[in-house]
Chain A
């Protein structure tokens, strides 16, 4: 008889160190419930604009089903270069400085792996998107956490960054407008960060996937700051701005050395992003502005609705100026984030995500996505109000 296999012993050690996603647990809890209103969704409630879907359908009809260049279609990279040059005066060479990826998640993973030697420290600014810390760990790096604070409107300060840097620090990952807080950082805020970054000679991975979703003031692209282009790996994608989450369409922009390092990983793992999605992305860049602006104005109205609603209920909520999340504090209810979210789900059937899922810094807060219809937000607010009143 052959020897029995014990699969668990084959799993790499790092897998046991990476904690499972806290979000996954809420997904399982929510999936069993009926009549649920979900404010737990990190994606637009819009369907991808028809002109984009139609362009993809047309490309399929024409038989455009092949691999593309590992870098992505040159037409797409040229559109991206134009777009960034016009919008942010950030100039990238479409031939050597842009890599099209399957989602920002892939771009992030590839970016971290491309720069991380075993033991290198990568600073993660929390509350943050759930993939940052695990991605650093998978790459053999050591995540170093900075917790941003409500009193600073969840912005990263130069002092906080300075204090986290050691001789082993390789890079810092920032994400503004931020998931989950909705915080943004203006030009001056970012200039202060740029000074520290240069002084200590580290890289910046800037995940700007929510750049189009800002309210009361535009977005500053980190790479557009003086001297920052070659020090930045700029990540962005089509999911949020153009309601294209399922297309998995994103890109990285950086200096040629960095992009070619990222390209090595990408070409041997992903090979290229799906061609249909790339064609959709070209259409989005060429003709999607109008529809995107309409969606952003609609988010802005829902933002006002949810912020004023949460504040009325007594859940203090600072004004998020970007993304589509409100991040109220539940501290004055006496419940922890998790108790609040779980009881709210079970007693009132409203799904939210406890802030601590996004790092220690989110403890005491709740992420409420307002990428859902106004009617649903109104009902959700009624239910949250009833829940808080009943405590």
Chain B
């Protein structure tokens, strides 16, 4: 990755709503250069989506989240792909990751109640042929989400003037 691309991605990673004009000011590139690079990054899939980090707890959302660890069996000729595709098509499944270690896959699942999530796992996930074993961990509190700390922090003040 060149410096130009890294600067643009870092600007967008920090603030998805930043304008191309602002990026141009911050990088010394022209607006056209920024727009073209962003377009290329979108088309190549480097930029997947522009999203907002929301503190759902603070917003008063009642949803519950669980992290589900899956142990799966693999057949010789088929890898993880067909199973993974079945899993990620459920809108309840917010993320799917292949892991090293004791478990194979990790899902983040959301639902209105713990019961709903538990039944979803029991009915839709555990019953899949390749799934051998599931462990459900309910999320009690999120402290940091995608690099953003989700609570007010003390502000450290600097002296107004230093040499």
Contact = CB atoms under 8 A, between A and B. Distances in A.
Q: Which of B7, B158, B163 counts the most A-chain CB atoms under 10 A from its CB? A: B163
Given A297-B10, A300-B7, A301-B7, A27 B26 contact: no
Interface string A20-48: 01010011001100001010111101010
Interface in A283-334: 294, 297-298, 300-302, 304-305, 308-309
B160 interface: yes
A304 B26 contact: yes
A130 interface: yes
Interface residues of B, number: 16
A351 to B, nearest CB: 6
B6 A297 contact: yes
Given A297-B6, A300-B7, A301-B7, A36 B25 contact: no
A45 B156 CA distance: 10
Nearest to B11: A301
Interface in A171-207: 179
A137 interface: no
B28 interface: yes
Interface in B146-163: 156, 158-163
Interface string A122-143: 0000000111000000000000
Contacts of B25: 304-305, 308-309
A131 B161 contact: no
B27 A301 contact: yes
Given A304-B26, A304-B27, A41 B6 contact: no
Contact of B163 (A21, A31, A47, A294): A21
B161 A30 contact: yes
A23 B27 contact: no
A23 B159 CA distance: 12
B26 A41 contact: no
Given A304-B25, A304-B26, A351 B161 contact: yes
Contacts of A300: 7
A353 interface: yes
Contacts of B7: 297, 300-301
A129 B27 contact: no
A131 B161 CA distance: 15
Given A297-B7, A301-B7, A27 B160 contact: yes
Nearest to A36: B160
A41 B27 contact: no
A304 B4 CA distance: 13
B162 A43 contact: yes
Contact of B160 (A31, A131, A305): A31
Contacts of B160: 27, 30-31, 36, 38, 40-41, 351
Nearest to A294: B10
B12 to A, nearest CB: 12
Interface in B130-144: none
Contact of A42 (B10, B27, B163): B163
Nearest to B162: A42
A305 B161 contact: no
Contacts of B27: 301, 304
Contacts of B162: 23, 27, 40-43, 245
Contacts of A131: 163
B138 to A, nearest CB: 28
A45 B11 contact: no
A308 B27 CA distance: 11
Contacts of B6: 297
Nearest to A33: B160
A323 to B, nearest CB: 13
Contacts of A308: 25, 28
B125 to A, nearest CB: 36
Nearest to B18: A374
A309 B28 CA distance: 12
A337 B97 CA distance: 58
Interface in B24-63: 25-28
Interface of A: 21, 23, 26-27, 30-31, 36, 38, 40-43, 45, 47, 129-131, 179, 245, 294, 297-298, 300-302, 304-305, 308-309, 351, 353, 374
8 contacts: A36-B160, A40-B161, A41-B161, A42-B163, A294-B10, A297-B6, A298-B10, A301-B27
Given A30-B160, A245-B162, 5 more contacts: A27-B159, A27-B162, A301-B26, A308-B28, A351-B161
Interface of B: 3, 6-7, 10-11, 25-28, 156, 158-163
Q: What 6 pairs across the A-B complex have the smallest Cβ distances?
A: A301-B26, A27-B161, A30-B160, A40-B161, A38-B160, A304-B28
